[in-house]
Amino acid sequence: MLLGLAFTMTNVQQFAANGAAAWSLPWCTAWLLDPMVSVVLLSILRAEQVTARHGVRTGRWVRAAKWFTLTATYVMNTWEAFTAGSPAGVVLHSVPPLVVFVAAEAVTDLRDKLGAAQSAAAVSAGRPSAPGPERCLSVPEPGASADRGQPRPATIGLMPATSAATSPAADGPKKPASDQGVSAGAASGRRRRTSFAEYLALARKVRTPEVTVSPAWVREVTGCSRGLSSRLAAALAADADGGAR
């Protein structure tokens, strides 16, 4: 996109200079027109990336500003070719603005899909997508009885290979995986992975009316990956919208 906008700068400058002498005041100020439009366009695209990362939709004015800047760049870049009646010039000067336009529309969706692909790859590999210690949350089992003391925790999330994933009610100490002729990596690979529905159910359970749902909050309460937290936040937002209706 940066290369496409840089390519259009010369044509826009010639359009704005309108035959002014080189290094004259109109000729110099004509160089400001294309950066004025391009900087606004790039700022809007960057802001859309940030808002899409947190699952926030932008308004109609943001989309209108993006389309206006793209249209203005295209018109100024191809005006001379249209007035000269040169089909080759129209094609030549249409390609860079159209590439910028298509990339601007696709960049937000591509960012979401790349995050989902990273999350899927991390889940298939049995590891979290973001570096750092693995986290897990414990919630009481619904069938635990009061006469047995504290309810036995049901682990949600990925457990580290070095941790003991045994419950307090287990019948006696169990031998480690290495003593049973099974490697620790193979033992950890057989653990059940937490599904999207389980993460969503846990987030719904701990959510309160005063909580502002965001991917960061979802990661904090569920311990899910960064890519999956955006999908969970969007699902929780959809629940809130459905409840409001």
Q: What is the 3-state secondary structure (H, E, C) of the chain?
A: CHHHHHHHHHHHHHHHHCCCCCCCHHHHHHHHHHHHHHHHHHHHHHHHHHHHHCCCCCCHHHHHHHHHHHHHHHHHHHHHHHHHCCHHHHHHHHHHHHHHHHHHHHHHHHHHHHHHHHHHHHHHHCCCCCCCCCCEEEEECCCCCHHHCCCCEEEEECCCCCCCCCCCCCCCCCCCCCCCCCCHHHHHHCCCCCCHHHHHHHHHHHCCCCCCCCHHHHHHHHCCCHHHHHHHHHHHHHHHHHHHC
Strongest mean pLDDT among 27-41, 42-56, 99-113, 213-227: 27-41
Tell me the pLDDT tens digit for each residue of 110-119: 877 877 788 8
- Provide mean pLDDT across the span 35-57: 83
CA 129 to chain centre: 13
Residue 191, token pair as written in the block: 């653990």
pLDDT at 27: 92
Domain parsing of the chain, residue ranges? 2-125, 136-140+149-158+168-244
- Provide mean pLDDT across the span 87-98: 88
pLDDT at 245: 54
Per-residue confidence band for 136, with pLDDT thresholds at 50, 70 and 90: very low
- Provide mean pLDDT across the span 43-61: 81
For residue 147, pLDDT over 60 is answered with: no
Tell me the pLDDT tens digit for each residue of 157-170: 444 444 444 444 44
Strongest mean pLDDT among 82-86, 143-147, 223-227: 82-86
For residue 137, pLDDT over 80 is answered with: no
- Provide mean pLDDT across the span 91-96: 88
Per-residue confidence band for 28, with pLDDT thresholds at 50, 70 and 90: very high
Partners of residue 154 on adjacent β-strands: 139
Per-residue confidence band for 31, with pLDDT thresholds at 50, 70 and 90: very high
pLDDT above 70: percentage of residues in the chain? 70
Kindly report the average pLDDT of the chain as a whole number: 73
CA 5 to chain centre: 25
Least confident of 49-63, 68-82, 128-142, 182-196: 128-142
Least confident of 35-49, 89-103, 189-203: 189-203
